[in-house]
A = this chain, B = another copy of it.
Amino acid sequence: MAGTHIDFWFSMGSTYSYLSVMRLREVEQSTGLSFRWRPFHLLLILQEMNHVPFADKPAKMRYMWRDLGRRAAMYGIPTALPAPYPAKQSIMANLVATVGMNEGWGADFVRAAYRRWLQRGEETGSEPNLSSSLRDIGQDPDRVLHIANADETSDLLSAETRAARQLGIFGSPTFSVGPELFWGDDRLADAISWCRHGQVRRG
């Protein structure tokens, strides 16, 4: 079943999501497809699954940094790794991203926060990353953080997290075309193929 757009589900505490975050603008231009950015709070779903992706698995975590660095280099995306991980306040970054998606500057904030985290070592979701990333894109931190901390924003993020869980999402980034899920930046090409042809074809 082909589609007209791709949903891009992501959580700000996810390292690998950086690759997609930095690539999507170019991918939209080269493919003509549109992506809907949908922040959700993956940590809640992982806790329900009783799953810790990397932090308690040293070999897997070492590999993740190495693999992320190699693939970022392949795409020409700068990194300074390893970066602080896991991000203790990733929920704050997800809340700010939620506000930003509503107000139209969400993708810019997400890119700014990832740059500060994975290029400059400023933990995402905490200060100074939060306020500095907002200032980077011309937003007033006081105003935005006030909205981010309001119940309405929490409700919006919870609703998106429920929607993600209902689709069967368990990781970030995930691309969805209707009910069809593609987990990982390395499945972006598969998602694009599905959206165009209703099947995964070789690149």
Contact = CB atoms under 8 A, between A and B. Distances in A.
Interface size class of A (residues with CB under 8 A): 20 to 34
A71 interface: yes
Interface string A162-180: 0000001111000000001
The secondary structure that dominates the A interface is mixed
Interface stretch (A54-62, A86-94, A103-111): A54-62
Contacts of A171: 60
Given A49-B57, A186-B186, A187-B67, A199 B168 contact: no
Contact of A183 (B51, B63, B180): B63
7 contacts: A51-B60, A57-B170, A59-B169, A66-B180, A70-B199, A71-B190, A75-B202
